[in-house]
Structure 1
Amino acid sequence: MSTHSPSPSPEHPILAGMAAALNPPDDASPLPVGTLIGGDVVEGVLGSGGFATVYRVRSPSGYVSALKLLPLDQGPERAERAWREMSLGMRLRHPNLVRQLGAGHWPLENPRYLWVKLELVEGPTLDEWGLAPERTLGDVMDRVLEVARALAVSHEAGVLHRDVKEANILVSQSTGQAVLVDFGVGYHPACPTLTKGMFPPGTPAYRAPEAWAYGRAHAGEPGAHYRAGVGDDLYAVGVVLYRLLTGRFPFRPAEHGGEDVEAVLHRAPLPPHLVNPRLPLAVEEVCLRLLAKTPEARYPGAVALCTVLEELRARTDVDWTRVLHPERRRPVKPWARWGRVLAGVGVGLAVALGAWWLGSGREVAPGGHTPEPVRAVVAPPVEAPSPPAAAPSLALRKDSAPVKQQQTSGSQPETVSKRRGATVRTACLGLTGAALQACMGTPQQMPSERPAPPPQACPAGAMETMTGMLGLSVGEKTSVDWSSVRGRPVHVHEDATLRVGGDWEAGADFTGKGFKVALPDQTRLFGRLYVKEGRVYGRFTEARTPQGVTYPVCLELLDTSNHVGLELKPGSGPGKMMVAPVVQVRVVDRFP
């Protein structure tokens, strides 16, 4: 059949799929629903990376799987990488490793792609799962043990993963177990080396000290290439474990951004129990050994790590039911939250009136620690707040209640004034936002402004992904929120993430089946916020779905009235931005 035959009407998905089989689209264009590949029918796009696009497909028997489509006609390196991933996957079989179900060429005549069919693991990434508020120490250690078992099987087969991180570990909704996925940058001695740079593909925050040391020793040397080993995968497991236990990386980013290589090479990470006092030292010992500076100081291999974790998990002197991150509370019901807030405000106002009465001539006790009943006025936060900035100076307004002063010698008036100021500050501790300003009598403090970022192009591939793969168009917008907080402002920081509440349906109907879901419910948007002229602006450049699929995007922040940027709410101050809980994002083709 001629490839120039008239294409069937795209209104029918199966006919459109037959047309796609005859005339494969450009690599940048997603395959239409109904395309037939290896006997399976394409149902939609799961994600796209630098080397492949992953589709959800269904077999004639109804079995749903993931199909990775790798182009063969974009140079020998792309073709070699495709064959390499297929051959690595065929070597691995284990419940904690993603299963490869088949492979082949497509189309059958003049093939342009290699397809690899994989088990579809539905579930959150390990960090999304592990940092949930109800997660216990035993839960987390079980998942890490399963990752160690996956690596033991992989290493025994001679395969290094080389990109172990939470985003490549899914927690299966069906089994509850961790599954290590994406061997796209894996290595086996029988496979040719494809990387031309100093380091193999991977994520710098999980790169082992010996890799950084090699990079420094051979900087500028032509052809120098670091060869990863078993110790690199184990070090990455240590980073993963540290993050699950503490909620942070072992080393902070460098001042100029990027990895603090000096710290990775020469400093010990902060002991996890100092970050999270709920951790037992026996668990901390395993984590710190995995993060040792040399591979020899870590465990001999993944099998040894499995043995240690199994013996540790069997100990009865460790409270495995202890919740790791209780401060990450699930949001309470709105009526309960409002009742708690109103109670706090009521008690706070009563304390403030009492302080005014005391300050009107009554003698006050010398300053000391805040009495427990006053500190308890503050309603517990829904989410863990960012570290507080230095508190703004507090002063009484000129129109505060007059206080009779007796003429005395020495510095007594100054002492009384200081004492009275301390009393008011103590009394106002239970208040926030506008109530705090009314109590203290100070104007609202504005967050520190930094120079606004210059105009910026969208991330590479963002426009193609948004318009071609997700079906979004420039100017399209949707409602998002910071959390489930409603009815009061929320405290956000520069890298706060937004949440897509409910499926974001694409405005463009290009599937032939009505609107398609561009981004599913609970997708997280990552970017940066900044303050300019009293408003908060945001640029979001990455979307991460609950299934761990990441898309480059180009979205700007709007308020619910479609104005660019957000109004700062009462309670804002240096280092603290209080904004509306529900906002919008809009698709743009460039950040102005």
Structure 2
Amino acid sequence: MTATLFRLPSGAIVDGWHVSRELGNGGFAVVYLVEKSGKPYALKVARHREASGDDKRTHARMVREATILLMLNHPNIIRPQGHGYAETGNMYVALEYVDGWTLAEWKERKHPTIHEILRVFVKLASALSYMHERGVLHRDLKLVNVLIRKSNGEPVIIDFGCATYSLAEDLTEEGLPPGTERFRAPEQFKFLRDHKDEHRARYAFKVADEIFALGAMLYELLTDPRPTEHYRRMSLNNLLLPPPSASDVNTRIPEPLSELVEKLLSRNPSERPVDTDALRRELEEHLERSGAEYMVPPHAPSEQWPSGPSESEGLPVVPPRGPTPRNVTRKTLVVGAALVAALAAAVTFSRACGDVPAPLPDYPPLPMTPPPDMSHLNPAPMVLPLATDAGQKEGSTVKMTTPEDPSQGRPLRVQKRLSAAECAAMSLVAALAAGCPGSQIRPESFTCPSGAARAMVKELHWKEGDGFVFTLDDRHDDDGLIWFTPGSDVVGVVPKVEGLRRRQYEVAPPGTRFYGKVYYLSDKMGRADGPALIIRYDRVKLPGQDERPVCVVVEGRSYGFKDGRVQSGNTQTGYVVDRWP
């Protein structure tokens, strides 16, 4: 399917939006800088990747994001400018372009005072309160999803790809909703632990989760001199060991503010503010009472200059955490001493066991705000030209400029009109083919995901040929043979076991999750001269870190073949490669 690797080249025109360059890409979308009527905008285009598994679900996510954006109108929330379809039917949402820094970049480049940081968080809490009143939950609050405008210093919440609203259809097949591990509330991992044998159990995301994420963001800005750097950080959501207070980590942080942050990060959701409006009021009270100690940056600028990672053992150096902590109590020392031993157990919450904490409080449900009518976003008849000509009008669905065909001396042109019924029929045929017991799914050779090479070498410190032992499909037991369905998505996880090599503990520790897709080689079935099962993992999430693109391949021997499925061991070794086999 051509949409799998779909990219808009510079110079392409989509509904009058002139593509300048790619700004970034994520799991289900690519964002471009575009221009229209002389003004810059951002164009977010659905990315139907192989790893997404289901193009319909990818499309549904984009429809849901557009729906949510149309429900909101707030100066500190990104604003939509339009929506439609790009080439091959990929839905897009046009957004205002925010020329600014992420919160982490702003902290390092502008050296804001503690007072200025609090002013930003007052506005973020106000924007979240506005969202929550309308039944919208962002579900992926983190430092990179808030931009600070360079022109006026105003914060803007972006990326609603993981967001939901009170009447939205559930698009999640896993226990937890989409999000970033480091900013998840501890009760989410408790839920996984308590429901590890219930594959249909789904966590109900709450306002308390958003408050924890906001607290984690504030903690990072107050305690981390260089939040843009990638290195192993202390867990903020460990069920057993809460992080040390902000004032213990950084002596510049006033005690009252440190106590508020500790309250936001409480293991018990009932100890956090009751809602984001209450949080806004508490932050405003801190601003009103703030004195000279709030008028300094959390870290001296000299502490924030980047330093290169250590090449020793392939591990990055943890940057200094400011002056020597004050008020280092026995509790703090115990926490620090126990952290190394307990962290490995804590990051594998879905498999953990132990005492069950006190029941979680019930928060009132969000208001049932009906979404706007989005029926017009269903795929309509589309024209798929690959070039413009003099006869095309400004309002046509897609106009793309492509190189000329040297043999013909004129632009390449392909025009095919598909009705909505034809599109639906094609999707149904594709779905049936993928699920057909006799279907054969053989992987083709192509390059790794964009950014994978850099992420593996520079950020993860992996080397080509590195092997990691892990459970291939976390829905099944670690040991024994299981049946794999070609074409299906799988999530692998590094379990807490004895005997892992030291290097794996360092660069892919227990709790590391691999996201991939299953293939098989039909000509190797029942033979011993090569692998029959192929799993490509193209994303990874280390405990407490953001998701990154990777290239990891498992080649497993077949022990059975039935109804289009292949049987193989569930604990095997995946290898780092620079190209799919």
TM-score calculated relative to the size of structure 1: 0.51
Q: Does 1:37 align with 2:11?
A: no
* SS of residue matched to 1:115: strand
* SS of residue matched to 1:148: helix
Between the aligned partners of 1:303 and 1:67, the Cα distance in structure 2 is 32
Q: Counterpart of 2:281?
A: 307
Query: Relative to structure 1, is the Cα distance of residues 311 and 28 closer, same or farther in structure 2, using a 3 angstrom cutoff?
Result: same
Query: Relative to structure 1, is the Cα distance of residues 106 and 31 closer, same or farther in structure 2, using a 3 angstrom cutoff?
Result: closer
Q: Does 1:85 align with 2:74?
A: no
- For residue 259 of structure 1, report the CA deviation from its aligned partner: 8.6
Q: Counterpart of 1:292?
A: 266
Aligned mate of 2:240, from 241, 246, 266:
266
Identity %: 33
Q: Does 1:64 align with 2:40?
A: yes
Query: Relative to structure 1, is the Cα distance of residues 331 and 311 closer, same or farther in structure 2, using a 3 angstrom cutoff?
Result: closer
Q: Counterpart of 1:52?
A: 29
Q: Does 1:220 align with 2:197?
A: yes
Aligned mate of 2:215, from 238, 259, 281:
238
* SS of residue matched to 1:85: helix
Tell me: higher relative CO, structure 1 or 2? Use CA pairs within 8 A at least 6 residues apart: 2
Query: Relative to structure 1, is the Cα distance of residues 244 and 331 closer, same or farther in structure 2, using a 3 angstrom cutoff?
Result: closer
Between the aligned partners of 2:120 and 2:179, the Cα distance in structure 1 is 22
- 1:107-118 residue pairs with structure 2 within 5 A? 107=87, 112-118=89-95
Query: Relative to structure 1, is the Cα distance of residues 192 and 166 closer, same or farther in structure 2, using a 3 angstrom cutoff?
Result: same
Q: Counterpart of 1:99?
A: 79
Structure 1: 5+ residue stretches without partners: 1-23, 333-382, 388-459, 468-473, 477-481, 483-492, 497-527, 531-540, 543-548, 555-587
Between the aligned partners of 1:182 and 1:312, the Cα distance in structure 2 is 29
Between the aligned partners of 1:115 and 1:260, the Cα distance in structure 2 is 36
* SS of residue matched to 2:45: strand
Aligned mate of 1:183, from 127, 135, 160:
160
Aligned mate of 2:124, from 142, 147, 151:
147
Between the aligned partners of 1:249 and 1:32, the Cα distance in structure 2 is 34
CA contact (8 A) 1:148 1:305 kept: yes
Q: Counterpart of 1:589?
A: 578
Between the aligned partners of 2:194 and 2:221, the Cα distance in structure 1 is 32
Q: Counterpart of 2:257?
A: 283
- For residue 294 of structure 1, report the CA deviation from its aligned partner: 2.4
Q: Counterpart of 1:463?
A: 448
Between the aligned partners of 2:205 and 2:447, the Cα distance in structure 1 is 31
Between the aligned partners of 2:66 and 2:278, the Cα distance in structure 1 is 28
Which digits, 9 at most, give the CA deviation of each residue in 1:171-225, with x for residues without a partner? 1112212211111011112110010111001111111122111111111113001
Between the aligned partners of 1:237 and 1:142, the Cα distance in structure 2 is 14
Please tell me the residue identity of whatever aligns with 2:42.
A
CA contact (8 A) 2:82 2:94 kept: yes
Which digits, 9 at most, give the CA deviation of each residue in 1:280-324, with x for residues without a partner? 111112101111122221111111111111121111445321221
CA contact (8 A) 2:108 2:225 kept: no
- For residue 243 of structure 1, report the CA deviation from its aligned partner: 0.8
CA contact (8 A) 2:190 2:239 kept: yes
Between the aligned partners of 1:237 and 1:280, the Cα distance in structure 2 is 18
Q: Counterpart of 1:206?
A: 183
- For residue 265 of structure 1, report the CA deviation from its aligned partner: 1.9
- For residue 55 of structure 1, report the CA deviation from its aligned partner: 1.1
* SS of residue matched to 2:293: coil
Query: Relative to structure 1, is the Cα distance of residues 461 and 494 closer, same or farther in structure 2, using a 3 angstrom cutoff?
Result: same
- 1:330-349 residue pairs with structure 2 within 5 A? none
* SS of residue matched to 2:116: helix
CA contact (8 A) 1:243 1:249 kept: no
Between the aligned partners of 2:24 and 2:185, the Cα distance in structure 1 is 28
Q: Counterpart of 2:331?
A: none
Query: Relative to structure 1, is the Cα distance of residues 76 and 309 closer, same or farther in structure 2, using a 3 angstrom cutoff?
Result: same
Between the aligned partners of 2:7 and 2:33, the Cα distance in structure 1 is 12
- For residue 122 of structure 1, report the CA deviation from its aligned partner: 2.1
- For residue 249 of structure 1, report the CA deviation from its aligned partner: 12
TM-score calculated relative to the size of structure 2: 0.51
Between the aligned partners of 1:277 and 1:72, the Cα distance in structure 2 is 48
Query: Relative to structure 1, is the Cα distance of residues 216 and 385 closer, same or farther in structure 2, using a 3 angstrom cutoff?
Result: closer
RMSD: 4.2
Between the aligned partners of 1:127 and 1:258, the Cα distance in structure 2 is 15
Query: Relative to structure 1, is the Cα distance of residues 464 and 205 closer, same or farther in structure 2, using a 3 angstrom cutoff?
Result: closer
Between the aligned partners of 2:320 and 2:246, the Cα distance in structure 1 is 20
Between the aligned partners of 2:189 and 2:320, the Cα distance in structure 1 is 34
- For residue 69 of structure 1, report the CA deviation from its aligned partner: 1.0
Between the aligned partners of 1:33 and 1:75, the Cα distance in structure 2 is 25
- For residue 72 of structure 1, report the CA deviation from its aligned partner: 7.2
* SS of residue matched to 1:311: helix
- 1:370-389 residue pairs with structure 2 within 5 A? none
Which digits, 9 at most, give the CA deviation of each residue in 1:527-560, with x for residues without a partner? x9x9xxxxxxxxxx99xxxxxx998479xxxxxx
Between the aligned partners of 1:144 and 1:315, the Cα distance in structure 2 is 16
* SS of residue matched to 2:23: strand
Bigger CA radius of gyration: 1
* SS of residue matched to 2:160: coil
- For residue 131 of structure 1, report the CA deviation from its aligned partner: 4.0
Q: Between 214-223 and 69-78, report the one with greater CA deviation.
A: 69-78
Please tell me the residue identity of whatever aligns with 2:79.
R
Please tell me the residue identity of whatever aligns with 2:170.
T
Between the aligned partners of 2:258 and 2:191, the Cα distance in structure 1 is 28
Aligned mate of 2:137, from 160, 183, 186:
160
Please tell me the residue identity of whatever aligns with 1:105.
Y
Between the aligned partners of 2:114 and 2:39, the Cα distance in structure 1 is 35
- 1:244-259 residue pairs with structure 2 within 5 A? 244-247=221-224
CA contact (8 A) 2:182 2:235 kept: no
- For residue 64 of structure 1, report the CA deviation from its aligned partner: 0.7
Which digits, 9 at most, give the CA deviation of each residue in 1:339-378, with x for residues without a partner? xxxxxxxxxxxxxxxxxxxxxxxxxxxxxxxxxxxxxxxx
Query: Relative to structure 1, is the Cα distance of residues 105 and 209 closer, same or farther in structure 2, using a 3 angstrom cutoff?
Result: same
Between the aligned partners of 1:134 and 1:249, the Cα distance in structure 2 is 11
Between the aligned partners of 2:164 and 2:10, the Cα distance in structure 1 is 34
CA contact (8 A) 2:174 2:202 kept: yes
* SS of residue matched to 1:328: helix
Between the aligned partners of 1:98 and 1:298, the Cα distance in structure 2 is 27
The number of aligned residues is: 337
CA contact (8 A) 1:289 1:298 kept: yes
